[in-house]
Amino acid sequence: MPTDLPSDVLISHGEMNLINSFRTIWREFALWTRSMFIADLTGLGNLNAVFNRLYSIPETFINQLRVIFGENADILVQPLSMHIVYLLDLFEAQINNDVEGVNAATTLLYQNADELANAFAQINPFWDEAQWRNLLYQYLSLTFQESTAILEGKFDLDVDIYDRISTFTTLIGDYTATGVLQYLRATGM
């Protein structure tokens, strides 16, 4: 297919699928996190079913990473799983106006983000720990803003925040995929 683009900017179907896969995983994570908060807040739906669906996303993600990084990817299992538990703790504390619980869960979430950033950097030399920390902190900030807007009944603001989260998960997915593609090219895989 003729193109005016230099050949070094073209990507294969496999590379595009990889990018889309990581974008989808991060977007699903945001969607099911939101669903978990709303189910917990309203009692609508089945919180356990939503929690279990959200809890399955890290395993899907790690299975994809195992194909490339082998067992090294397993260092993400525990921190990704605990991230979801800490989010539920945060949401329940927010719903119950438990300031101490909110503070404790928030502290755990940021410590967890630090642990995740370190783990990502250990797995792949093309993932920068500081960049991962920045991405995860921004994601947490948006998630806190979203849950607060919902609790305060500021639904127009909530919609705006969710749109920003959705866009932001694309950036996280792209950063994930870019690091994987750089690793694959560097190792000749």
17-28 burial string, b = 16+ CB within 10 Å, else e? Answer: ebbebbbebbbb
- Contact between 96 and 84 under an 8 Å Cβ cutoff? The reply is no
Q: What is the pLDDT of residue 1?
A: 35
Q: Would the pLDDT of 15 be above 90?
A: no
* Residue 76 pLDDT exceeds 70: yes
Buried b (16+ CB within 10 A) or exposed e, 157-178: ebeebbeebeebbeebbebbbe
**Per-residue model confidence as pLDDT tens digits over 141-174:** 999 999 999 999 999 999 999 999 999 999 999 9
Query: For position 9, what pLDDT does the model report?
Result: 61
User: What confidence score (pLDDT) does residue 8 get?
Assistant: 62
Q: What is the mean pLDDT of the chain?
A: 92
pLDDT digits (tens, 9 = 90+) for 88-127: 999 999 999 999 999 999 999 999 999 999 999 999 999 9
Report the pLDDT value the prediction gives residue 170, as an integer from 0 to 100: 97
pTM for this predicted structure: 0.90
Identify the pLDDT of residue 121: 98
Instruction: Find out whether 36 and 90 touch, Cβ atoms under 8 Å.
Output: no
| pLDDT at residue 34 in the model | 93
Contact 32, 49 (CB under 8 A): no
66-93 mean pLDDT: 95
Residues making up the chain, counted from first to last? 189
